[in-house]
């Protein structure tokens, strides 16, 4: 094309980024081994890493074996004591050095990332790499301030980290920076398709003089990842990837006591109200769904637009789509690069053609795709409903589905109509409206009048099946730390043999039969069966309802109807908890006597347990309006709020010791934060809690907020664990039982806390009287609100 022609048509032409230095680096290093104990191993069992834009082989990568993983874990273990004992400032200096070195090699990383992943150079240069650098700078600060900011915490030890291919270096940074800041050592597996930037990062670690073994990188496929997850000497697993693999990891690690954080899939709503700046909302969608080819877990892939502006909005959106350029990732003038590989292209195209067959209306802009390579046009589906699989399933490609809503309530209902809960965008110029919607969205990140914003200082992570744990900010640091006391917990001494029924029921008073407590009423169990409750001497002192599946179902039903409890003011929740404490105090002798009767505890011990239970009710009443969030400091003109929200419905299974204190503590924590509880009373000693029904009934607790069932704890807990409407589950029991419960939780990936046969001290306030359980009763929603007129 000559200048005259261009003068007329004003084409952009090509603006390719020079990839020379990246190719030179690959050529020098081309045949990659793993990075273990500060050294690169010799390459073996290699496979090709492919440039998805061209199909060319870039480099040979080693497929890690169990033995490779084992030597990496050993190296990490060996390095741990030195690294974790280093002063905070000592670790900060290394993290700072890594940040500086990343910065000095920023363009090499960016080009390498685009070559390996197919993402536009503009994005790797302006988003991935700068965000990764910022993550190390930010966490250098955390390393230094850890002791003051999170006292009495200690690192897990060896962290196994498995990351996806969509943001290779950025996800590596999200994993490694906080882990190292906290004093952990890591074994990280990059995705098989995109290992190059992790291997370059390994060289950066060498240049930074990082002690050997602190960072180990083992490349390979799923089996390599599985070897990390299954390794006995790994203390924590952090995974970012698909929900399916996340569930497998949850199942594999069940009962092992390994820490776990999961960043999984999403189908995030993008809500546009009629009073929004419509053109800006259209442009925001470009960031939301056409960033990184739509291969983004938090992509705003479900457009919900208010009916009055729907037609106009969709027309504008189509016009905008027509301007998006799909092409060579190294061309600086393109918007959408290559998908990761041909398998993904085929999978997404299959979804698109199935979508068309389902009656959804397809729109793709005119124009051609490059002749070769893994490219897909930006795609919009209209005429879809929530029943369409296009709307339900994560597509992980440049495919947007659009629906309309009539009013704010319907917008919220549609937004939450998903098994995922990663992110959401809300567009409105009305602050009252936006802030009414934000807390009602079940999502870990909410962007007001923007999309796809990230920063190291702001936590990121999901609700529901989008996973748990946060990355970034103080909440992200907590994911790599344990309480000091937690690490010292010893196994429970062998449980006291349960007395056998020795005497038949002596009628000493009026017959005592405990029912269940569901929806604010004492109700008979569904089964019609009861079981004998014995005293310490083995004499039957009454019967308790033998709860079954349907009792659990009814209790969860009642609890979920009471979720409005979270909308009550914290002050009101506190008042009710105080009232429970006050009313228990009136009858403390009776409750102490019951503990004595059923467990055989001494009078002093029994009365201490009741006193402690009252103290706990007061403690969490007092915390209801104090355990709150934060305002973060991302580098932009915005308010970023970390808001503490309840999980929702929490299932609680009480142990056979501390028959009053343990369930009261857990229940108080849960409801203080706005959760509703389904509590299974102590298997052998249910009467302390059934006696408590009357306390609940006289303390203004709204119906359904607390529900109590008696019966076999393990059986009933497993039903709760499998219940998809239950959001969290706390289980006190043995290691094996805990494993069963955790494995059973994968249906909706509810958050679990199990005691795994460890001797938690229920009367110890540091352990059970404060933030430790509060953290488990809550999740953090980060809300980004950019502002300016």
Which region among 212-220, 258-266, 278-286, 692-700 touches another protein (by CB under 8 A)? 278-286
- Pick between residue 164 and residue 329 the one whose CB is nearest to another protein: 329
206, burial (CB in 10 Å: exposed 0-12, middle 13-18, buried 19+): middle
769 binds another protein (CB under 8 A): no
Q: Does 130 bind another protein (CB under 8 A)?
A: no
C-beta closer to another protein: residue 317 or 399: 317
Helix 713-722 to helix 549-561 angle, to the nearest 10 degrees?
50
CB of 427 to another protein, least distance (A): 8
CA separation, residue 562 to residues 139, 695, 773 (Å): 40, 19, 22
Taking the least distance from each CB to another protein, the nearer of 529 and 787 is 787
Contacts of 155 (CB under 8 A, 6+ apart): 80, 84, 179, 182, 183, 184, 480, 481, 482
Instruction: Mark 152-171 with x for binding to another protein (rule: CB under 8 A) and - for no binding.
Output: --------------------
What's the min distance (Å) between Cβ of 314 and another protein? 9
Residues 216-235 interacting with another protein (rule: CB under 8 A): none
Binding span for another protein by CB under 8 A among 275-283, 381-389, 605-613, 686-694: 275-283
Are the beta carbons of 561 and 647 closer than 8 angstroms?
A: no
The answer to whether 686 and 513 are in contact (CB under 8 A) is: no
- Write down the least CB distance from residue 383 to another protein, Å: 16
Is 67 a residue that touches another protein (CB under 8 A)?
no
In total, the chain counts a number of residues equal to 789
The CA distances from residue 283 to 55, 278, 322, 341, 677, in Å, are 31, 9, 12, 27, 43
Beta strands in 202-299 (DSSP E): 215-217, 236-240, 259-263, 268-272
**Contact call for residue 328 and another protein (CB under 8 A):** no
State which of positions 397-456 bind another protein (CB under 8 A).
Answer: 429, 449-450
Q: What per-residue string of b and e applies to 635-665 under the rule 16 or more CB within 10 Å gives b?
A: eeebebbbbbbbbbbbbbbbbbbbbbbbbbb
Q: List, by residue number, the catalytic residues.
A: 263, 297
The stretch near another protein (CB under 8 A) out of 254-262, 304-312, 432-440, 577-585 is 304-312
- Which of 266, 275, 269, 231 is CA-nearest to residue 246? 266
Residue 3 touching another protein (CB under 8 A):
yes
Neighbours of 235 (CB within 10 A): 22
Q: 744, 553 in Cβ contact below 8 A?
A: no
Cβ at position 424, least distance to another protein in Å: 16
Cβ closer to another protein: 246 or 284?
284
* Rounded alpha-carbon distances, angstroms, from residue 532 to 543, 586, 597, 683: 5, 28, 14, 11
Q: Does 582 bind another protein (CB under 8 A)?
A: no
CB of 12 to another protein, least distance (A): 6
Closest residue by Cα to residue 564 from 748, 443, 440, 421: 440
Report whether 462 contacts 444 (CB < 8 A). Answer: yes
* Residue 128 contacts another protein per CB under 8 A: no
Q: Does 640 bind another protein (CB under 8 A)?
A: no
Compute, in degrees rounded to 10, the torsion defined by CA atoms 650, 654, 659, 664: -10
Smallest distance from another protein to CB 110, Å: 12
**CB-nearer residue toward another protein: 13 or 151:** 13
Interface pick for another protein out of 98, 140, 276, 606 (rule CB under 8 A) = 276
Tell me the two tokens of residue 306. 């208010």
Tracing tokens 């309006």 back to the chain, one arrives at: 625
The reply to whether 787 sits near another protein by the rule CB under 8 A is yes
* 452 or 675: CB nearest another protein: 452
Return the residue of 37, 230, 277, 557 that touches another protein, per CB under 8 A. Answer: 277
Q: How far is the CB of 134 from another protein (least distance, A)?
A: 17
Q: Is 280 in the site for another protein (CB under 8 A)?
A: yes
Which span sits near another protein by CB under 8 A: 200-208, 315-323, 469-477, 578-586?
Answer: 315-323
3-state SS, residue 387: coil
Taking CB under 8 A as the binding criterion, the range among 4-12, 68-76, 456-464, 684-692 that sits at the site for another protein is 4-12
* Between 778 and 782, CB nearer to another protein: 782
Helices (H) and strands (E) in the chain, counts: 29, 35
Asked if residue 603 binds another protein (CB under 8 A), the reply is no
Site string for another protein, 334-353 (x = CB under 8 A): -x------------------
Q: Residue 415: phi, psi to the nearest 5?
A: -60, -40
d(CA 720, CA 750): 10
Check if the beta carbon of residue 688 is closer than 8 Å to that of residue 664: no
111 versus 740: smaller Cβ distance to another protein: 111
Please say which residue, 9 or 509, places its beta carbon nearer to another protein: 9
Residue ranges in 553-572 that form contacts with another protein under rule CB under 8 A: none
Going by C-alpha positions, the residue among 31, 29, 33, 30 that lies closest to residue 64 is 33
Tokens (6 digits) for 190: 């990059």
| 20 is an interface residue for another protein by CB under 8 A | no
Shorter beta-carbon distance to another protein: residue 46 or 333: 333
Q: How many CB atoms lie within 10 A of CB 267?
A: 27
Tokens 């955790």 belong to residue: 742
Residue 312 touching another protein (CB under 8 A): yes
* Least distance CB 319 / another protein (angstroms): 6
- Give the span between the Cα atoms of 345 and 699, in whole angstroms: 59
**Interface pick for another protein out of 56, 279, 307, 761 (rule CB under 8 A):** 279
Instruction: Identify which range of 186-194, 270-278, 481-489, 729-737 contacts another protein by CB under 8 A.
Output: 270-278
Q: Check binding of 496 to another protein (CB under 8 A).
A: no
CA-based diameter of the chain, in Å? 108
Q: By C-alpha distance, which of 723, 444, 446, 671 is closest to 564?
A: 671
The residue with tokens 């389904």 is 678
Structure tokens given for 101: 């070195």
Q: Is 504 in the site for another protein (CB under 8 A)?
A: no
Only segment of 272-280, 458-466, 571-579, 697-705 that touches another protein (CB under 8 A)? 272-280
**Out of 299, 638, 696, 780, which residue is the one contacting another protein (CB under 8 A)?**
638
CA separation (Å) from 208 to 4, 13, 203, 746? 52, 41, 9, 40
Smaller CB separation from another protein, 356 or 429: 429
Identify which range of 5-13, 373-381, 652-660, 740-748 contacts another protein by CB under 8 A. 5-13
> How many positions of this chain bind another protein (CB under 8 A)?
45
Candidates 234-242, 310-318, 531-539, 616-624 — which segment interacts with another protein by CB under 8 A?
310-318
Choice from 18, 315, 361, 736 touching another protein (CB under 8 A) = 315
Torsion angle, alpha carbons of 707, 709, 714, 720, to 10: -40
Candidate residues 244, 311, 502, 569; the one interacting with another protein per rule CB under 8 A = 311
CB of 6 to another protein, least distance (A): 3
Task: Name which position in 107, 135, 177, 287 contacts another protein (CB under 8 A).
Answer: 287
CB of 19 to another protein, least distance (A): 16
Answer yes or no whether residue 284 interacts with another protein by CB under 8 A.
yes
Binding site for another protein (CB under 8 A): 1-7, 9-15, 122, 125-126, 275-277, 279-281, 283-284, 287, 309, 311-312, 315-316, 319, 323, 332-333, 335, 429, 449-450, 637-638, 786-789
């Amino acid at each position: 094309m000559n200048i005259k022609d261009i003068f007329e048509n004003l084409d952009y032409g090509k603006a390719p980024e020079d990839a020379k230095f990246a190719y030179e680096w690959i050529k020098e290093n081309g045949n990659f081994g793993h990075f273990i104990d500060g050294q690169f191993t010799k390459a073996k069992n290699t496979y090709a890493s492919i440039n998805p834009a061209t199909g060319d082989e870039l480099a040979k990568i080693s497929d890690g074996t169990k033995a490779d993983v084992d030597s990496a874990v050993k190296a990490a273990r060996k390095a741990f004591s030195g690294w974790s004992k280093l002063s905070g400032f000592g670790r900060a200096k290394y993290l700072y050095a890594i940040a500086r070195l990343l910065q000095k090699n920023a363009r090499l990383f960016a080009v390498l990332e685009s070559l390996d992943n197919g993402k536009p150079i503009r994005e790797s240069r302006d988003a991935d790499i700068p965000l990764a650098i910022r993550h190390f700078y930010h966490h250098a600060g955390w390393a230094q301030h850890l002791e003051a900011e999170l006292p009495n915490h200690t690192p897990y030890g060896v962290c196994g980290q498995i990351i996806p291919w969509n943001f290779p270096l950025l996800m590596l940074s999200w994993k490694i920076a906080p882990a190292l800041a906290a004093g952990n050592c890591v074994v990280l597996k990059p995705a098989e398709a995109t290992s190059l930037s992790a291997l370059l990062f390994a060289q950066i670690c060498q240049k930074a003089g990082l002690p050997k073994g602190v960072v180990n990188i083992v490349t390979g496929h799923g089996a390599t990842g599985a070897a990390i997850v299954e390794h006995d000497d790994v203390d924590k697993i952090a995974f970012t990837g698909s929900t399916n693999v996340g569930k497998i990891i949850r199942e594999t690690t069940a009962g092992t006591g390994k820490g776990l954080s999961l960043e999984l899939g999403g189908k995030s709503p993008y809500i546009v109200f009629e009073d929004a700046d419509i053109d800006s909302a259209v442009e925001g969608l470009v960031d939301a769904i056409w960033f990184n080819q739509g291969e983004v877990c938090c992509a705003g892939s479900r457009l919900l637009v208010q009916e009055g502006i729907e037609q106009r909005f969709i027309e504008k959106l189509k016009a905008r789509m027509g301007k998006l350029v799909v092409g060579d990732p190294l061309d600086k003038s393109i918007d959408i690069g290559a998908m990761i590989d041909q398998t993904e292209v085929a999978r997404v195209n299959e979804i698109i053609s199935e979508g068309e067959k389902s009656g959804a209306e397809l729109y793709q802009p005119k124009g051609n795709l490059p002749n070769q390579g893994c490219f897909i046009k930006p795609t919009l589906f209209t005429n879809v409903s929530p029943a369409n699989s296009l709307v339900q399933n994560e597509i992980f490609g440049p495919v947007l589905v659009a629906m309309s809503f009539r009013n704010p309530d319907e917008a919220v209902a549609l937004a939450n109509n998903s098994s995922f809960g990663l992110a959401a965008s809300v567009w409105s110029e009305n602050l009252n409206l936006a802030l009414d919607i934000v807390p009602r969205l079940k999502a870990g990140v909410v962007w007001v009048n923007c999309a796809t914003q990230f920063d190291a200082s702001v936590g990121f992570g999901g609700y529901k099946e989008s996973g748990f744990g946060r990355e970034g900010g103080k909440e992200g640091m907590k994911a790599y730390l344990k309480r000091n006391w937690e690490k010292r917990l010893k196994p429970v001494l062998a449980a006291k043999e349960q007395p056998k029924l020795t005497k038949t029921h002596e009628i000493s008073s009026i017959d005592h039969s405990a029912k269940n407590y569901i929806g604010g009423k004492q109700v008979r169990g569904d089964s019609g069966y009861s079981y004998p409750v014995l005293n310490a001497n083995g004499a039957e002192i009454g019967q308790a309802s033998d709860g079954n599946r349907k009792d659990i179902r009814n209790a969860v039903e009642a609890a979920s109807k009471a979720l409005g409890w979270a909308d009550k003011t914290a002050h009101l929740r506190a008042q009710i908890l105080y009232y429970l404490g006050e009313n228990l105090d009136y009858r403390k002798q009776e409750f102490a006597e019951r503990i004595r009767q059923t467990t055989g505890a001494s009078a002093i011990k029994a009365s201490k347990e009741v006193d402690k239970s009252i103290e706990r009710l007061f403690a969490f009443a007092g915390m209801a309006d104090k355990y709150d969030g934060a305002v973060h400091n991302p580098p932009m003109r915005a308010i970023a709020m970390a808001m503490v929200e309840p999980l929702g419905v929490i299932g609680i299974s009480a142990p056979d010791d501390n028959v009053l204190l343990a369930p009261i503590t857990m229940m108080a924590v849960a409801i203080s934060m706005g959760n509703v509880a389904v509590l299974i009373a102590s298997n052998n000693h249910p009467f302390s809690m059934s006696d408590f029904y009357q306390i609940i009934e006289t303390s203004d607790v709204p119906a359904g907020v607390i529900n109590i069932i008696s019966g076999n704890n393990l059986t009933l807990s497993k039903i709760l664990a499998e219940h998809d409407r239950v959001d969290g589950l706390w289980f006190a029991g043995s290691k094996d039982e805990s494993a069963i419960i955790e494995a059973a939780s994968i249906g909706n990936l509810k958050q679990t806390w199990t005691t795994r046969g460890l001797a938690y001290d229920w009367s110890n306030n540091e352990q059970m009287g404060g933030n430790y359980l509060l953290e488990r009763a809550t999740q953090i929603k980060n809300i980004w609100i950019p502002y300016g007129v």
